[in-house]
Amino acid sequence: MYYHIPIGTLFTGTATLTLFGGYHPQTQSLWLIDMVYHHLAIAFIFLIVGHMYRTNFGIGHNMKDLLDAHIPPGSLVLASLEVITYLVAQHMYSLPAYAFIAQDFTTQAALYTHH
At 69-108, the pLDDT tens digits run: 777 777 788 888 889 888 887 877 777 777 777 777 787 7
Contacts of residue 85, Cβ cutoff 8 Å, sequence gap at least 6: 115
Helix axes 105-114, 74-94, angle to 10 degrees: 170
At 16 the pLDDT is 57
Q: What is the dihedral of CA 100, 105, 110, 114, to 10 degrees?
A: 70
Write down the pTM of the prediction.
0.47
Stretch 43-70: mean pLDDT: 76
